[in-house]
């Protein structure tokens, strides 16, 4: 669950398993993502002391590797074996293989055991998720946050600036909807809930931007 990418021409999209869809998605190219960490994550985490972190929907490992390079002990989770193998190879090349535990999970059904100082859920948007599945995953992620820890959620809040005619209908969640969907119990504080502009080049490399939302909630110690 890491992309708004959609195969409009693929009639089998709705019949394939989630794992098969994402394995096919990653297998289409040798590299799908830039390898750089998500800008929202960097802004929100750069000043935090390193600890344990759960990276949900880790893809090819850009965030996980960046975190490991800064002293975090990372559990990186994705449904795609292709993505996980690719991420592990990148981590080895970066010299942080020992700091990252790569685990395959379909987030709709399971999470790694234990609790973490930081749980990062960056852009868990999936064209093959059931309605309400993302919100259920994020609520479940609260239980993976250790006392005093943080759940950090990055979401797309709109189409990139160069998209004049959206390729398909999609309703992006508002910041308030993201927060409300968590149904935060007592003992949680909303530290950040805002929309930011992320610099993002268009497919031809020209400057562009995309509206994203960031929600950071903290569990009381």
Tokens of 119: 């749980």
Weakest mean pLDDT among 13-17, 32-36, 101-105, 191-195: 13-17
CB-CB contact of 149 with 187 (8 Å):
no
Query: What value does the mean pLDDT of the chain take?
Result: 88
For residue range 47-78, list pLDDT tens digits in order: 999 999 999 999 999 999 999 999 999 999 99
The domain limits of the chain are 18-219
pLDDT of residue 145: 98
CA angle 191, 40, 117 (to 5 degrees): 55
Q: Could you tell me the CATH superfamily of domain 18-219?
A: Vaccinia Virus protein VP39 (3.40.50.150)
Which position has the higher pLDDT, 16 or 182? 182
Give yes or no for residue 20 having a pLDDT over 90. no
For residue range 75-112, list pLDDT tens digits in order: 999 999 999 999 999 999 999 999 999 999 999 899 99
Q: Edge-to-edge strands of the sheet including 52-56?
A: 100-104, 73-78, 52-56, 116-122, 145-156, 209-219, 188-199
- 5-23 average pLDDT score: 55
Rounded distance between C-alpha atoms, residue 172 and residue 156, angstroms: 7
pLDDT of residue 202: 86
For residue range 134-178, list pLDDT tens digits in order: 899 999 999 999 999 999 999 999 999 999 888 877 788 899 999
Which position has the higher pLDDT, 134 or 12? 134
* pTM of the entire predicted model: 0.87
């Amino acid at each position: 669950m890491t992309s708004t990418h959609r195969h409009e021409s693929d009639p089998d999209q709705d019949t394939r398993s989630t794992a098969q869809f994402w394995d096919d998605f990653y297998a289409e190219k040798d590299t799908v993502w830039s390898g750089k960490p998500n800008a929202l994550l960097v802004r929100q985490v750069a000043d935090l002391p390193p600890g344990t972190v759960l990276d949900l929907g880790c893809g090819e490992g850009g965030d996980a590797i960046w975190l490991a390079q800064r002293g975090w002990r990372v559990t990186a989770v994705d449904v795609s074996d292709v993505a996980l193998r690719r991420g592990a190879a990148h981590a080895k090349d970066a010299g942080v293989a020992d700091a990252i535990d790569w685990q395959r999970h379909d987030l709709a059904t399971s999470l790694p055991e234990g609790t973490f100082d930081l749980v990062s859920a960056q852009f868990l948007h999936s064209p093959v998720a059931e309605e309400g599945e993302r919100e259920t995953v994020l609520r479940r992620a609260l239980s993976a946050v250790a006392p005093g820890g943080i759940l950090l959620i990055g979401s797309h809040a709109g189409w990139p600036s160069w998209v004049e005619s959206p390729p398909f209908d999609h309703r992006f969640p508002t910041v308030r909807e993201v927060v409300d969907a968590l149904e935060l119990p007592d003992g949680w504080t909303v530290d950040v809930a805002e929309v930011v502009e992320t610099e993002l080049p268009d497919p031809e490399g020209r400057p562009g931007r995309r509206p994203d939302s960031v929600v950071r909630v903290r569990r009381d110690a």
